[in-house]
């Protein structure tokens, strides 16, 4: 088994899941993941494999987003059309779960890019060192980033779920600041 | 010492704090109520964020995305799609169902008629089930060259599915027709209802070939298998929680489900409820509250053993899952709820837990006047 085979077997699944959560589109996520592994093949040595792969994938997503939004929209439409003809069996969802997913997506979109990526990487099992390397942060700031991301995500989610509630806390940060 | 900042608390809960800092933080939290509150809040945020992120998954974690597969080695798709059901085929399937139902109803009616004419000893063998009817000893009557007795003539005449290759005489056909007429009056409504239900299900399946993830159909056989397994789990939990009738009813609910759509919905509902409620909880203790068999802190965990009840674990003061609480188990309820039963000797107590938000909810305890507040927490591994 080559190194790339091993990398793919070990990291493709979490990488696709991370990208799917990040992008909201599994086909797109798979494309980005493939591109990431292609780049890994061209790399002579990779010191920290997981953080390298997540960093490259994250950068690819950013580049793609910057490059051509219109092209992406067009691709998404084409994907929707082809999806109707495919025999892929997605996870059966109840309406409640679909609604929950939509609210979660909206809440996640309300975070800053850095908060969102740090949170999704943490949820994918990356440790603080790996997150710091992938996002070019200091290790000491990862905890603060994650704390802010989590708080804002939960508050955003609850504000969307219960529109009557004031969402002022979303941007408010921690309630218990260091003295 | 300074209060702990939020980043440090999260780093601590994520297991990223150096041992020395962790010990210092622990000491501080032991003395500082404000930081203890912040710690509890951070646990709630971690649990809430994890749950929200998990809600994004169209596929559950750990599933490799399926590529478009049509060639060899393809994962078997939905039976309904494989059959390429169209409205006309669905109608045909419904007609077949009606015919089969009519035959079964007819047989039952014939059996009832015969039972009324037969001696009392024989009536016990004619149950409502089709199996009981078909296992009736009609073979001797069919095999006998002599004219069968009156009580056996009618069933032998109308048993069209019998292996005996006797030609149908006009008399027998007339008997069968009249019997069918008499049956249809009784069976029309339920058969029509069954057919309508079946047609609806099939039509629903045909409509589901459009890309609506909410209505995606899995293979019906697989769905049923999963449903029965889920029923087993629920029944196993229910058996310990409530009277046996509850568990039996729960199982029957799944087994009676006639259509894949119904089965599918049950599976999804059951699975979603179970996965949503798993976690660590703290019941806010109140003075004068009913004495609880369940501790203030506990964790709901799904059983890893098939058909075994879901387990309740104790949780340590530093929010680590501890040993299983003997005599306690739980079953998921609809809308983010769980029914937790605890027994201690002759004492039995039921706590109905219901989450009203991502991190909080209520616990209604048997015998208690008012529900208690519950907070959902993140447990350390």
Summarize pLDDT for B203-220 with one digit per residue, the tens: 333 333 333 333 333 444
Q: Measure CB to CB from residue B56 to each of A21, A147, A179 and give the nearest one.
A: A21
Segments making up each domain of chain B, as ranges? 6-54, 274-377
Distances, alpha carbon B203 to alpha carbons B39, B77, B196, in Å: 53, 18, 10
Domains along the sequence of chain A with CATH: 1-90 (no CATH), 93-179 (1.10.10)
Q: Is the pLDDT of residue B372 over 80?
A: yes
Domain B274-377 has CATH 1.10.1660: no
Choice between A32 and B122, residue whose per-residue pLDDT is larger = A32
- Mean pLDDT value of segment B146-165: 40
Please count the residue pairs, one from chain A and one from chain B, whose beta carbons lie less than 8 angstroms apart: 181
Q: Do B65 and A91 touch (CB under 8 A)?
A: no
pLDDT by residue, tens only, chain A of 179 residues: 567 788 888 899 999 999 999 888 888 888 899 889 988 888 888 888 999 999 999 999 888 766 655 566 666 666 666 666 555 455 555 677 788 888 999 999 999 999 999 999 999 999 999 999 999 999 999 999 999 999 999 999 999 887 654 444 433 344 343 33
| Closest-CA distance of chain A to residue B304, Å | 22
Q: Is the pLDDT of residue B280 over 80?
A: yes
Give phi and psi for B344, each to the nearest 5: -140, 95
> Which site among B82, B213, B335 would you substitute to test the A interface, given the most A Cβ atoms closer than 10 Å to its Cβ?
B213
Q: Do A150 and B68 touch (CB under 8 A)?
A: no
Q: Measure CB to CB from residue A91 to each of B49, B58, B78 and give the nearest one.
A: B58
- Mean pLDDT value of segment B310-324: 85
Output the pLDDT for position B86.
Answer: 58
Choice between B110 and B24, residue whose per-residue pLDDT is larger = B24
The angle subtended at Cα B101 by Cα B199 and Cα B254, nearest 5°, is 65
Q: Measure CB to CB from residue B7 to each of A30, A123, A143 and give the nearest one.
A: A143
Q: Do A98 and B214 touch (CB under 8 A)?
A: yes
**Per-residue pLDDT band at B278 (split at 50, 70, 90):** confident
Q: Do B53 and A83 touch (CB under 8 A)?
A: no
Q: CA–CA separation, B228 vs B236, rounded Å? A: 12
Q: Do B268 and A94 touch (CB under 8 A)?
A: yes
Least confident of B38-52, B59-73, B361-375: B59-73
Q: CA–CA separation, B348 vs B343, rounded Å? A: 4
DSSP string, B29-77: HHH-HHHHHHHHHHHHHHHHHHHHHHHT-SS-TT-PPPPP--STTPPP-
Please tell me whether residue B337 adopts helix, strand or coil conformation.
Answer: strand
Output the pLDDT for position B105.
Answer: 73
Q: Name the pTM for this structure.
A: 0.42
Output the pLDDT for position A15.
Answer: 94
Please tell me whether residue A9 adopts helix, strand or coil conformation.
Answer: helix
Output the pLDDT for position B276.
Answer: 67
> Which site among B52, B80, B84, B218 would you substitute to test the A interface, given the most A Cβ atoms closer than 10 Å to its Cβ?
B52
**Per-residue pLDDT band at B296 (split at 50, 70, 90):** confident
Output the pLDDT for position A150.
Answer: 96
- Mean pLDDT value of segment B67-83: 44
B357: nearest CA in chain A? Answer: A158
Q: Is the pLDDT of residue B200 over 50?
A: no
Contacts of residue B35 in chain A, CB cutoff 8 Å?
A: 176
The radius of gyration computed from the CA coordinates of chain B, to the nearest angstrom, equals: 30
Output the pLDDT for position A122.
Answer: 95
Winning range, highest mean pLDDT, from A77-91, B129-143, B356-370: B356-370
**Per-residue pLDDT band at B121 (split at 50, 70, 90):** very low
Q: Do A178 and B41 touch (CB under 8 A)?
A: no
**Per-residue pLDDT band at B109 (split at 50, 70, 90):** low
């Amino acid at each position: 088994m080559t190194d790339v085979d091993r990398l793919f077997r070990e990291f493709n699944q979490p990488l696709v899941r991370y990208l799917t959560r990040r992008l909201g589109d599994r086909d797109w996520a798979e494309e980005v993941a493939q591109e990431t592994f292609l780049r890994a093949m061209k790399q002579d040595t990779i010191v920290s494999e997981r953080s390298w792969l997540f960093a490259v994938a994250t950068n690819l997503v950013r580049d793609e987003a910057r490059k051509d939004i219109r092209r992406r929209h067009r691709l998404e439409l084409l994907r929707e059309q082809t999806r109707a003809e495919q025999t892929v069996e997605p996870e059966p969802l109840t309406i409640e779960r679909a609604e929950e997913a939509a609210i979660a997506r909206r809440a996640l979109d309300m975070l800053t890019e850095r908060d969102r990526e740090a949170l999704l990487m943490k949820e994918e099992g990356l440790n603080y060192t790996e997150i710091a390397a992938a996002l070019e942060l200091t290790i000491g700031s990862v905890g603060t980033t994650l704390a802010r991301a989590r708080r804002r995500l939960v508050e955003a989610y609850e504000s969307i779920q219960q529109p009557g509630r004031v969402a002022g806390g979303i941007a408010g940060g921690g309630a218990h600041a260091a003295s | 010492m300074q209060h702990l900042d939020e980043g440090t608390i999260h780093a601590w809960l994520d297991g990223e704090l150096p041992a020395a800092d962790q010990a210092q933080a622990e000491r501080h939290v032991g003395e500082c109520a404000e930081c203890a509150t912040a710690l509890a809040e951070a646990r709630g945020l971690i649990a809430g964020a994890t749950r929200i992120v998990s809600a994004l998954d169209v596929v559950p974690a750990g599933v490799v995305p399926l590529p478009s597969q049509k060639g060899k080695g393809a994962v078997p798709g939905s039976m309904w799609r494989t059959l390429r059901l169209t409205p006309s085929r669905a109608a045909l399937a419904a007609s077949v169902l009606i015919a089969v139902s009519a035959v079964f109803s007819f047989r039952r009616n014939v059996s009832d008629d015969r039972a009324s004419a037969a001696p009392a000893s024989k009536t016990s063998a004619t149950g409502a089930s089709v199996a009981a009817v078909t296992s009736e000893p009609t073979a001797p009557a069919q095999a006998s060259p002599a004219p069968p007795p009156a009580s056996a003539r009618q069933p032998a005449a109308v048993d069209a599915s019998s292996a005996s290759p006797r030609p149908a005489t006009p008399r027998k056909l007339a008997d069968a027709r009249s019997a069918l007429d008499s049956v249809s009056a009784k069976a029309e409504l339920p058969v029509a209802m069954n057919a309508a239900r079946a047609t609806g299900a099939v039509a629903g399946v045909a409509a589901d070939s459009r890309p609506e993830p909410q209505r995606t159909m899995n293979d019906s056989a697989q769905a049923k298998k999963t449903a029965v397994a889920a029923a087993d789990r629920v029944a196993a939990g229910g058996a310990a929680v409530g009277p046996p009738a509850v568990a039996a009813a729960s199982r029957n609910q799944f087994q009676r489900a006639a259509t894949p759509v119904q089965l599918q919905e049950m599976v999804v509902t059951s699975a979603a409820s179970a996965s949503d409620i798993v976690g660590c909880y703290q019941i806010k203790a109140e003075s004068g509250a009913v004495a609880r068999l369940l501790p203030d802190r506990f964790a709901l965990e799904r059983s890893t053993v098939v058909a075994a009840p879901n387990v309740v674990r104790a949780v340590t003061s530093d929010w680590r899952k501890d040993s299983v609480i003997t005599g306690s188990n739980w079953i998921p309820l609809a809308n983010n709820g769980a029914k937790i039963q605890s027994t201690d000797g002759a004492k039995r107590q039921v706590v109905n837990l219901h989450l009203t938000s991502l991190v909080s909810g209520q616990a209604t305890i048997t015998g208690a006047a008012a529900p208690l507040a519950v907070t959902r927490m993140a447990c350390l591994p």
